[in-house]
Structure 1
């Protein structure tokens, strides 16, 4: 019976007659009663075994023509029995040229290919097969589904070239990204990126399916290119290309202009610059500059002997690879420059530190000497103050014990003489005037003795002496001085100085302020003794006091400032024309802590 017939797959073409029809009693094919004659369904003889009874040939044909897949059917003689319109287009032949003819005659390139192997396997195993295969004559990848039947083989196939190319592109990009990542890691871990050029370029050349590469670096202190790494060259070619002058060959031009050069169909080129490339037998060639920070470090070239053009994706990979190399090389060079700068900076810092230590020692020595000199100056200032005070006391004693006694004796004698004359009935105006002058002299002598060395300063301290000074200013100069002071203010040696300062400042009020009222404040804290004299008089410009330093000054403030500075104190002046004056003197405790004065 027909259904029990086995296909002959031992040879490429079956010798069995083609079972295109199944004869019936009236010589017609069974097509569900829809076909009247076998000739009308010759192309669809495989439908009977496909279980399509009840459908007309027209309906089946319509379905097959409407599907997007290409379709053809083969009988056991490998002859085409049906081809839809999509199949015609993909196979590149008309239906009339295919029907009834063996597939291996029409497509001899398929003999021995996977197409034949899979078709035969489907018929032998009686099982469907699914595979993808490239058909070189069509330059197309096909996805094929072949189903065996009792009348032959039904084949559905579709063009998957775009998909395969996309997958291959993804795989290729994955490999290239992996190559770039690996190269980046190698460059980062290398002490000298130049030393990795040979290994990196070897791997890149494999991925690019190239036959040669040349990596040039610009020599230090020169514009010449030196061949640093290469592959695919003979010894003679390598020796010839070992060193290039600026502008020599393709690499020399790229190094000068900083732009890549791509050559297609090199063997047909007549450009003299490409002579070396032609001699290498290359058909396509590309040279890229190694540029970092707008500086050309060298060039890298790849060439192939198997094709006349390099693809755009290959050129992009070369460019990315060249950029990686240039950046890594410049980064390492920058690190080396930075290391040298850091070393120089460290050496400079060490020298500077040594100079600072030496200068610090000098300053320490100078400061110690200055401290000693200041201590001597302070001691001298105290000695001068004490000497001045002793001299004042001596003069006060001379006035009190000698001059005043003489004046008192003279006044006594004059008074006696006046009394005697009055007793004798005579009167002398001259004696009365002499008596008055002697009285005034005694008063002046007594006042001068108190001013030179007030006994109250030695007996009761600075606070009481300042109150006496306020009363004295009122008696002698008609100035009302408001006193606010503590009883315990300063040591005796400093008290004499501060008393003299207060007297000088109050005399300045009398002479220059133009007012008859002033305020005197004295206070002691843990750090200092402070005396302030203020008024609401005419005032003055403090800058003039600064400008008068070293000159004779009517106010006497520069002299006070200098003596206060010797004691480590400070003189503050707050004054303005027409705004009154406030002068504060501060002496630190203990007075041995002295420094520069501040004059405000």
Structure 2
């Protein structure tokens, strides 16, 4: 229907007459362009902006095709009509406020406007003209929708980051699921969520967290069997279950949630490495379906929770296994310690018990030799010598075992004295000359210093040197030499006394060098069978050296001999008295000790 005076408001006559309206438009939009009215009309008809002009009576004086399309009219049906009569779909009060302000105050302004159903969004601009106002707008619906989607994507990304970060750093992720799911619930515009975790002992699903259910429903759904209801089916089949349009459904598994007003329900399995650890479900009372984006978010959250729960359970299982291993190891160590204690106690007791009969045997031998020595035949003397030799061998073994038990129990005591180490070493060497001569071995003593008084336990030092000499003489062939040397050497920045025992024996294989100082270790049966022993002499010698604050080092080459070096601190307490010096020259005592250490050999009595 054509308006009255329609010709007056036709666009072509309007611009061809160069009316004051066109002049106003030119000032606002096309100032100093030089375009004709026809050019302007063609331009306005080609743009995607809605463009209209209104006179002071609020009548349309021009409307381009885009504006007519947006308003739902043909252009010719709008020209000359009052704007308020053609805006059924907009809020006239809100639009009118902006238009009147521009008309009255003669100022340009911009504003945003949503249609009443919020299906469309427009960015609007109003400018005063000579005869009224110019209004143009842009349909920003797609832009706003994209902006909204970007904002939603950012919110979702932030939400997933928060969920992942909190689950990853928590030692008890099951305790924070409710707090995290409330945020997911809010994002999805859901009103209910339910989280079940697998109880492996009962082989059932137990409710861990939920929201939106009354107490009666919570109690009813606290435990679920595999396959029961939607969550039970999800756990049994390890697949997602989605129920939509529930209020119109007759599925028996949805009966419970249908009675609670739920319209859409989605349950995801919590699966990690093929193992179900629980389920996570979200439900809505407002919408009948979930978008693919909503379902993707639910799955992502479910996967993160499955990883966290499985991680903690795996760590807990590994920790329990580790604790069990530690417990078993502690029990094994305690049993081993107790076994060692019992063994040491037994060795100590049996060693003491051996000493008594040995003392009786020695007394009997001495009595026989003293009372009827001249009456004994050569054969009888040989038997007595054998008895003495084996008794000394047993005494050496008993003494060594007693020392081992004292070391293990921490009861080994030291009797420190200031002693001339040169004189003591020379006397010990001389005490074993009889054993060296028996094998036609040359025994030498060399010292680069005449006298050196140091703090030492005399008995322990004698045992050390006698053991080294015993090994050197026993394993050196006839006609060769054993040399005892004494000198001052620097070790780890300190000057120390160095006592060396060098022999020309068979030597020790390189692969055996690491174990020669271990208890009950013998280098090789082919070597050790040449002399009796149980492999504890070198162990004790090294231990005694360490107790004296020193160190023992061994070097050897097969076929060329061995070199054992004993390093002792060059320390002293007081000046050695003359009585002390004399006490060291007890050759009979040293010879008795040497006989025990050399009991494997059979010297002439």
Q: Same fold (TM over 0.5)?
A: yes
1:261 touches 1:287 (CA, 8 Å); kept in 2?
yes
Choose from 197, 205, 213 the match for 1:217: 197
Farther off after superposition, 201-210 or 365-374: 365-374
2:23 paired with 1:48: yes
1:104 touches 1:110 (CA, 8 Å); kept in 2?
no
Compute the RMSD of aligned alpha carbons.
5.7
Q: Which residue of 2 aligns with 1:244?
A: 224
C-alpha distance in 2, partners of 1:210/1:101? 48
2:80 paired with 1:100: yes
Q: Which residue of 1 aligns with 2:409?
A: none
Q: Which residue of 1 aligns with 2:489?
A: none
Choose from 138, 141, 145 the match for 1:161: 141
Distance 1:377 1:531, change over 3 A: farther
Q: Which residue of 2 aligns with 1:438?
A: none
C-alpha distance in 2, partners of 1:59/1:315? 53
SS of 2:110 mapped into structure 1: strand
Distance 1:127 1:347, change over 3 A: same
SS of 1:486 mapped into structure 2: strand
Q: Which residue of 2 aligns with 1:319?
A: 299
Higher relative contact order (CA 8 A, sep 6+): 2
TM-score normalized with structure 2 length: 0.57
1:44 touches 1:57 (CA, 8 Å); kept in 2?
no
Q: Which residue of 2 aligns with 1:520?
A: 480
Farther off after superposition, 290-299 or 342-351: 342-351
Farther off after superposition, 246-255 or 332-341: 332-341
Deviations 1:4-23, CA, capped at 9 Å, x for gaps: xxxxxxxxxxxxx999979x
2:6 touches 2:79 (CA, 8 Å); kept in 1?
no
SS of 1:108 mapped into structure 2: coil
Per-residue deviation, 1:267: 3.8
Distance 1:160 1:111, change over 3 A: closer
Per-residue deviation, 1:287: 1.4
Choose from 491, 514, 530 the match for 1:560: 530
Matches within 5 A, 1:47-446: 47-50=22-25, 51=27, 55-88=35-68, 90-91=70-71, 93-112=73-92, 114-136=94-116, 139-180=119-160, 183=163, 192-233=172-213, 238=218, 241-269=221-249, 271-338=251-318, 340-341=320-321, 343-345=323-325, 347-348=327-328, 350-365=330-345
TM-score normalized with structure 1 length: 0.58
Per-residue deviation, 1:358: 2.0
Per-residue deviation, 1:113: 6.0
Structure 2 residue runs of 5 or longer lacking an equivalent are: 379-429, 448-461, 487-498, 507-521, 542-553, 568-589, 601-605
Distance 1:102 1:257, change over 3 A: farther
Aligned length: 454
1:568 touches 1:594 (CA, 8 Å); kept in 2?
no
C-alpha distance in 2, partners of 1:349/1:68? 82
C-alpha distance in 1, partners of 2:255/2:22? 67
Per-residue deviation, 1:128: 1.6
Q: Which residue of 1 aligns with 2:444?
A: 486
SS of 1:299 mapped into structure 2: strand
2:128 touches 2:134 (CA, 8 Å); kept in 1?
yes
Per-residue deviation, 1:317: 2.6
C-alpha distance in 2, partners of 1:325/1:499? 71
Per-residue deviation, 1:58: 0.8
SS of 2:268 mapped into structure 1: strand
Per-residue deviation, 1:108: 0.6
C-alpha distance in 1, partners of 2:535/2:206? 76
Per-residue deviation, 1:61: 1.6
C-alpha distance in 1, partners of 2:58/2:351? 121
Per-residue deviation, 1:247: 1.5
Greater radius of gyration (CA): 1
Per-residue deviation, 1:246: 1.9
SS of 1:110 mapped into structure 2: coil
C-alpha distance in 1, partners of 2:331/2:357? 38
Q: Which residue of 2 aligns with 1:422?
A: none
1:41 touches 1:57 (CA, 8 Å); kept in 2?
yes
2:114 touches 2:122 (CA, 8 Å); kept in 1?
yes
C-alpha distance in 2, partners of 1:234/1:163? 42
Per-residue deviation, 1:251: 1.5
C-alpha distance in 2, partners of 1:75/1:139? 30
Per-residue deviation, 1:123: 2.1
Per-residue deviation, 1:260: 1.8
1:110 touches 1:116 (CA, 8 Å); kept in 2?
no
Q: Which residue of 2 aligns with 1:532?
A: 504
2:476 touches 2:503 (CA, 8 Å); kept in 1?
no
SS of 2:183 mapped into structure 1: helix
Deviations 1:498-536, CA, capped at 9 Å, x for gaps: 899689944xxxxxxxxxxxx6233223556444368xx
SS of 1:207 mapped into structure 2: helix
Per-residue deviation, 1:221: 2.4
Distance 1:247 1:559, change over 3 A: closer
C-alpha distance in 2, partners of 1:164/1:117? 23
